C-alpha cells in the first residue's frame, strides 16, 4: 500500500465533543502511515485555504511533518507538497478542469432555477440555490435541501433534467446538498490523476469516505481499495465491495484508524 486517501467532513473531520475537529485516533493512524513511507492524501470538496487552516488548527503541520503529501480540493484541484513544505498546484490539470467545469455554468443556472420554482419546490419548499457569490467563485451550481431524504428525491429530478439537456454534467449528493458537476471531475477521477502523477498504481491506494460524493472513489471503478467509517451513509455501506473493501465499526476518526490498522495487519501477513 503506497497511498491512503481520506475524506474530511464525516470521515476524518467530525465526531468530536464540543467542537468540529479531528479525533486523535485518526490523526495518529495517518501519522503512522506517513512514517512507513506511505503517501497520505486529503480528498474533499473544501477549498485549499480552509484545509490548510484546519490542518494547523488540529495540530498537523505539513511543512514540518511532511504529510499530507497530496490535497485534492473542491473535488477537482490537485496540490502536491514540495520539498520546502508548500503545496504546489498541478497547474495544467487544475486550470483545464476548472475551465471545463465552468464552460456551461451559465446554461445550468437558469435550468436549475426553473426546477426550484417547480418540481423541487414541491419536494421541499425550503430548497434553494447556494449563495450566488459562492457558486460564482466555485463555478458550479449547488442546491440545498432541508434534509437528506428530500435531497435524495431532488437529486433524481435534477439528474433527469441533466439527462434531457444532454449537458456533460452529473449530480453528486453530500447529505442535504446536491451539486451539479462536470463529468471530468469528482473524487475518483481526480485522485486517479494524482496517483498517475505520483506513479502510484490505483490498486495500491486505500480510500476512506462516508458520503455519496465519495462514491466515485469508493465504488471500485478506479481500482482503489475502499473503506468507510461506521457513520457512513447507507448507500455508501452498500457499495463497499465485500472482498476489496472494509467497513469499520468505529465512527469518524476512529473508523479511519480502524481501516488503516486493518491494512497494516494485512501487509504484515
List the pLDDT tens digit at each of the 269 positions of the chain: 999 999 999 999 999 999 999 999 999 999 999 999 999 999 999 999 999 999 999 999 999 999 999 999 999 999 999 999 999 999 999 999 999 999 999 999 999 999 999 999 999 999 999 999 999 999 999 999 999 999 999 999 999 999 999 999 999 999 999 999 999 999 999 999 999 999 999 999 999 999 999 999 999 999 999 999 999 999 999 999 877 799 999 999 999 999 999 999 988 87
Q: Which CATH superfamily is domain 3-75+186-268 in?
A: HAD superfamily/HAD-like (3.40.50.1000)
Are 42 and 22 spatial neighbours (Cβ–Cβ below 8 Å)?
no
CA distances from 48 to 78, 120, 145, 209, 250 (A): 10, 32, 25, 19, 28
Q: Is 206 helix (H, G, I), strand (E, B) or coil?
A: strand
Query: What's the CATH number of domain 103-182, 3.90.1070, 3.10.290, 3.10.20, 3.30.43?
Result: 3.90.1070
Q: Is 171 helix (H, G, I), strand (E, B) or coil?
A: strand
Nearest-angstrom CA–CA distance, 44 and 187:
7
| Residues 224-244 pLDDT 10s | 999 999 999 999 999 998 777
Q: What angle do CA 24, 245, 3 make, to 5 degrees?
A: 60
Instruction: Domain ranges for the chain, please list them.
Output: 3-75+186-268, 103-182
Amino acid at each position: 500500500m503506497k497511498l491512503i486517501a481520506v475524506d474530511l467532513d464525516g470521515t476524518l473531520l467530525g465526531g468530536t465533543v464540543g467542537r468540529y475537529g479531528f479525533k486523535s485516533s485518526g490523526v495518529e493512524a495517518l501519522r503512522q502511515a506517513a512514517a512507513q513511507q506511505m503517501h497520505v492524501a486529503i480528498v474533499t470538496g473544501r477549498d485549499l485555504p480552509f484545509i490548510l487552516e484546519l490542518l494547523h488548527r488540529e495540530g498537523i503541520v505539513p511543512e514540518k511533518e511532511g504529510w499530507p503529501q497530496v490535497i485534492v480540493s473542491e473535488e477537482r484541484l490537485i496540490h502536491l507538497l514540495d520539498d520546502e513544505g508548500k503545496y504546489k498546484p498541478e497547474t495544467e490539470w487544475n486550470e483545464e478542469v476548472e475551465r471545463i467545469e465552468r464552460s456551461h455554468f451559465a446554461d445550468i443556472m437558469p435550468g436549475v432555477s426553473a426546477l426550484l420554482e417547480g418540481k423541487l419546490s414541491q419536494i421541499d419548499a425550503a430548497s434553494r440555490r447556494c449563495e450566488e457569490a459562492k457558486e460564482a467563485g466555485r463555478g458550479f451550481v449547488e442546491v440545498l435541501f432541508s434534509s437528506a431524504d428530500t435531497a435524495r428525491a431532488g437529486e433524481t429530478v435534477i439528474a433527469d433534467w441533466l439527462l434531457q439537456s444532454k449537458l456533460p454534467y452529473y449530480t453528486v449528493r453530500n447529505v442535504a446538498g446536491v451539486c451539479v458537476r462536470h463529468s471530468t471531475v469528482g473524487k475518483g477521477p481526480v485522485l486517479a490523476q494524482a496517483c498517475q502523477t505520483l506513479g502510484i498504481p490505483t490498486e495500491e491506494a486505500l480510500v476512506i469516505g462516508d458520503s455519496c460524493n465519495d462514491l466515485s472513489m469508493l465504488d471500485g471503478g478506479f481500482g482503489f481499495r475502499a473503506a468507510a467509517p461506521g457513520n457512513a451513509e447507507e448507500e455508501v455501506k452498500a457499495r463497499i465491495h465485500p472482498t476489496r473493501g472494509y467497513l469499520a465499526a468505529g465512527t469518524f476518526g476512529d473508523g479511519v484508524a480502524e481501516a488503516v490498522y486493518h491494512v497494516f495487519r494485512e501487509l504484515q501477513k
